[in-house]
Amino acid sequence: MKAMKKKAVVNNTPVCQVRMQAISDTMSILSGKWKFHILGTLIEGDQLGFMDLLREIEGIGSKMLSKELQDLESNHLISRTVKDTKPITVKYAITKHGKTLTPVIDELAKWGIAYRQSVHG
C-alpha cells in the first residue's frame, strides 16, 4: 500500500477557497503604493481637498493621487463632493464603509511595529 500522491489538495476545502478569495479581493481593492496612506490620512483629518492630500502624502504625484482617489471612490471607501465655494473646491472624505477598514489597518500597523521590534531588538 503506497501512500496516495498526485493532485493532492490540502487547502481546497470550501472554507479555504472562500478565505483565499476574500483575501485576494481585499488586497486587490487596497493594491498599489498609496491606498493605505490615503485612507489613513482621510481617517485622521476628514474633509481634505486634492491639494491638501498632495501635501499630506509625501512623495505622491498628482497623477497617482488622482487615480488612487478614483479607485477608492469607485469602491465606495471614500467620497468626493464638489463644494460650490468661490473658487470651486472638492472635498474628499472617508465613508462609513471606508471606516470598516480600521481594524484591518490597525492589525497591519500593529504587526509592522512588532516586526520592527523583533528584528531590531
Partner DNA sequence: GAAAGTACTTTCCAAAAGGAAACTACCCTG
Partner DNA sequence: CAGGGTAGTTTCCTTTTGGAAAGTACTTTC
Q: What residues are paired with 81 via a beta bridge? A: 91
Question: Quick check: 81 binds a copy of itself (CB under 8 A)?
Answer: no
56 or 105: whose CB is closer to DNA?
56
Among 1, 4, 27, 88, the residue binding a copy of itself under the rule CB under 8 A is 27
Q: 100 pairs with which residues across the strands?
A: none
Among the residue ranges 64-72, 86-94, 107-115, the one whose residues contact a copy of itself (CB under 8 A) = 107-115
Using left for φ > 0, alpha for ψ between -120 and 50, and beta otherwise, residue 90 falls in beta
Which residue, among 31, 80, 30, has the nearest Cα to 53 in the 3D structure? 80
Place of cell 521590534: 117
Q: Which helix (H) or strand (E) covers residue 78, if one does?
A: strand 78-83
From the list 26-34, 66-74, 82-90, the region that binds a copy of itself by CB under 8 A is: 26-34
In the complex, least distance from residue 71 CB atom to DNA, rounded to whole angstroms: 9
The correct pick among 61, 74, 83, 115 for binding a copy of itself (CB under 8 A) is: 115
